[in-house]
Each structure stands twice: as C-alpha cells, then as structure tokens.
Amino acid sequence: MRSDQAKKGIERTPNRALLYATGITRQSLESPFIGIASSFTDIVPGHVGMRDLERAIENGVHRAGGTPFIFGTPAICDGIAMGHAGMKYSLPSRELIADIVETMANAHSLDGLVLLTNCDKITPGMLMAAGRLNIPAIVVTAGPMLSGRYQGGKLSLVRDTFEAVGRYTAGKMSAEELEALEMEACPGCGSCQGLYTANTMACLTEALGMSLPGSGTGIAGSGKKKRLAYESGQMAVQLVRQNLTSDRIMTRDAFENAIRVDMALGGSTNSVLHLTAIAHETGLKLPLDLFDEISQDTPHITNLRPGGDLFMEDLEAAGGVPAVMKVLQEKLNNSDTVTGETIYQNLESVQLFENDVIQPLSNPIHASGGIAVLRGSLAPNGSVVKQTAVSESMMEFEGNARVFDSEELAMAAITSRQIQKGDFVVIRYEGPQGGPGMREMLSPTAALVGMGLGESVALITDGRFSGGTRGPCIGHVSPEAMAGGPIALVRDGDKIYINIKQRKLELRLSAAEMEQRRKMWVKPDARVTSGYLARYARAVSSADDGAVVR
C-alpha cells in the first residue's frame, strides 16, 4: 500500500507515534488509509449537510476494513459570490482545491480517496486532483436542493431571485413579492434546483464513472444520499484492494460519455471548461470541436431549468442519470466505473418507465444537444452557448454593440434601462487573465430576461455564464480581450452577427478596419497586482484550453 511508506519499518517509529496520537489503533495501521476530502462549510447551502455524509462515509470505510481520515477543502457559493468582486475567486478556487487534495494525499501517502463535494468549482477541482494523483478515488456529491414553494408554485434560485430582480426593476413585481421569493426560493440544503453547473457536474461525474449510480440526482438530506455515501466509503476500500485507479476510469471513452450525457441533459456551458481541465490532468486533450461534434449527434431529451420548467427532483423521480444513460446506451462507450463493472453492466438492471421528463431518442425536445461552439471573426478560437436555452427567434440575430469593460458597468447600464431592443451587449476584460478569474455574468443576463429583453437583446463575453443563464448569451469568447483577442477591438455601434445553427459569431468589420484597430489597441494594466489572483492571472491558460493553470 502507498501508506506503508509512512507507517512501516523501524525508521517510521516517529511517524507511527504521531498517527497513534490521532487515536487510531495498531489494527488500523494495517488497513488502507482512506482520505475523505470534505468541502463542508456553513456558508454554502450545497455543503451545509455534509457532516451527516462525512459520518456515513466514515462508517462505510470502517465497515469495509479501511481507516478513514477527514480533511477539508475550500468551497465557494457562486450565488453568494455573484455580481461583485468575490466572483473573481470562484474559478481560481478550482485550482486551489485540486492542489490541496493532491498535497494532502501525497504528504500523508493516502491509499485512496473519497471526494465529498457538491457545488460548481468544487466537484471539478476534486476530479482534477483524482486525475492528477491517479490513485483509487470515488466521488460523493451531496445532492440537489428541493424546490421552493410560493402561492402553490415551485421556485428555483435563478428564475425566482436573479431574474426577479429584472422583473422588479421593470415594474412587473412588487417589493413584497420580491421579498417573499427571497425567503422561499431556497428552502434548505443542497445545490440549486435546476440543471445549473453544480448539478450538471454531479450528473457528469456519474456519467464519467467516478460516482455510484444514482449519485448525480439523489436529493440532499435524503436517506438515499446517506446510503450512497456509506456505500461509497465501502467502495473506496475495495478500489484500493483492486488497485482500480482513476486512469482506468477517466479514459477518453469515459469523457465522451460524459459529454454525450451533458448534451442530452442540456447542461451548463461551464462543463466545457471543467471537463477539458479534468481531462488535462489525466493527460488527455478535449478540443472544443469534440463537444460540438457530440452535440450534433446527441438529441436533447430532458427539459430542466433554466431552459425548461422541470427541476432536479423531477429528474430524480424519473430515474436520474441511469435512466438517461439507458436511453442513450446505443451511443455510449462501455467504459469502466467505480462500481468495478462497466457502464453497460451497471445499466442492465435499469428499467425505463413512461414519463414526461426523459424523452425517447425518437421524440427528443431538440434534435441536437445542449451546447454549440461558435467561431468567426469575433471568436477565432471558439465560444460556447447553451443553444437549448435560446428561443428559435434568437438563433440568428444581428445587433448594435454596446461595449462594457466590466460586469459592473454593464449591470449599471441594464438596471438604469439604457439597453434597448436590438442591442448586442459586449462584456469584456472578464476572461481568465483579464478578470482575473473569468466571472459568471448571471446578474446581467438574468436582469435582461427579467426585464423582458431576452427575445430582443443578445450578450457576449470573454467571461463565463452561470448554468442558470438562458437566452442568446455567448461566453468563453477566445482569445480573450486581455490577450488582444478581437473582442478587445469592438466599439459601440459595431454590428455583431450570430447564427447558432451555422455556428457563426462575426464582427461585421472589414479586415483592414480590424487591423487598424489592432495596431491602436493598448493592453490595459492588470486589475489585480498582488495576492492569489495576481499569480493566477499570470499562469492561467485560455478558456478554450480549459482555463488551466500551467
């Protein structure tokens, strides 16, 4: 066992003395050392229920004959960080989490890992660590939150708080109703209720083969979730004994499965960044075009929020990720999973039943998948859009550029009602390097939808979008403005054209005009010059490369 180097032999007498100081027994020293990387915190709703899951995992590890050790990692709530400078830390925290898990696992020679996670950047950070370490590992996601309730209807965070801000600003909602939504939208623990980034990544972790079947949609706080945590603790010990390492699970075939499930579900555009970064840690490269190729060959078969009206609890009741994969089975690779069996073997016992949540391939909601990759003079290295959350009338659009060099400037213009029908909002210098940190633009996009402009205004950014974003919102524009990409050259009044079906994103300027502006462009000073974000900005790669730190 890996842990033998820290606990076996005469020369490890002092090491054992310190281990005994933790309260473990002599017998425990003979068992596999299983690290439980817990992202518990009191400030993130998706993580406040993790103390119970920690205990369940510990019990599972003990039951299987392992010795568990809990250690902590950071966790940021994107919703709380959204709309202000705190959001600059969200994506960079992914790298910190991967580094912390790597550091703890290698410093203490852990034999295996259970990765307890839930929200947006924590899950990919944990998976990046698993890929980097290449030791037996299994992921437990804490589960989605139940929907809120108000006046007989279901509520979710994005539509009923972020978009409600726009409705209130437009005079479509009273202050009393806004306050009621604020109190009722999020009733308790769990990741936010729609197919936003956290739940997208939980589902894709299961599709990737790195968590037990049913984990992706098991509701937070449920007995099922506790059982899955217990069984994952047991399985971690078995994985060590079988030497089933992450490289045998997170293969190219497995990543293709995850992308396909993503497209069928209509998941967050952030999955492109995260899957690319996770693959990078395993030594694989996932080009943007692969996402688009799989999307065009994968029908969209669920209609969850933000694009639709269904909730994660509805997907769970319909059979969760196993049911989705059963529908897709003919298109899936038969890769290995943490169960010790293959995808096809796991799906043998899955039974499909008629429901309105998961559509058959013969009658999809959309003929192609959730994400489209757009290229053109404004994004020569690519950009992404959640096409299943864009109305048919906005699949092709040309508008007048309204250019803002930060999210705050754009939000001020939107809330003061300066944006009009036919405008194409450009938010730049918010990329990985320029932000720094590639903030999500949920506040501006939700405000536009709430104000009734979702069918007449488009938005592009070199930053990101929340998984809760809907409408013609194109993100990850590469190269970013800080790197001198074409988005840095746009001026107010320029014509910008998108055609999502044809995968086009064009700035309507002549090559001569573009070249003249390029010669005049001056790279702005860095916004942050000290601390972690400054170091991150100097080392981070482009969005089309997963925004990984080199």
Residues 455, 481 contacting (CB under 8 angstroms): no
Residue 328: exposure state from Cβ atoms within 10 A (0-12, 13-18, ≥19): buried
Cβ proximity of 453 and 421 under 8 Å: yes
Distance CA 429, CA 380 (A): 17
Residue 369 DSSP SS3: coil
CA distance 544 to 480: 10
Residue type, position 142, single letter: A
**What amino acid occupies position 505?**
L
Residue 383: closest CA among 459, 436, 445: 459
Tell me how far apart the alpha carbons of residues 503 and 392 are, in angstroms, rounded to a whole number.
14
How would you classify residue 252: left for phi > 0, otherwise alpha for psi between -120 and 50, otherwise beta? alpha
Backbone torsions φ then ψ of 117, nearest 5 degrees:
-150, 180
466 counts as catalytic:
yes
Q: Concatenate the DSSP letters of all residues of 401-440 into one string.
A: EEEESSHHHHHHHHHTT---TTEEEEE-S-STTTTTS--B
DSSP string, 195-259: SSHHHHHHHHHHHHTSS-TTTTTPPTT-HHHHHHHHHHHHHHHHHHHHT--GGGTS-HHHHHHHH
DSSP code, position 376: E
Integer distance in angstroms from the first to the last C-alpha of the chain? 31
Q: Which amino acid is at 149?
A: R
Q: Rounded to whole angstroms, how far apart are CA atoms 407 and 443?
A: 9
Q: Which of 466, 510, 530, 542 is catalytic?
A: 466
By DSSP bridging, strand 379-386 and strand 67-72 are unpaired
User: Which two tokens mark 54?
Assistant: 């920690």
Burial of residue 245 (CB within 10 Å: 0-12, 13-18, 19+) is middle
Alpha carbons 46 and 503: distance in angstroms, whole number: 35
Residues 6 or more apart from 328 whose CB is under 8 A from it? 260, 261, 264, 298, 301, 361
- Residue showing tokens 């499965």: 257
The residues annotated as belonging to the active site are 466
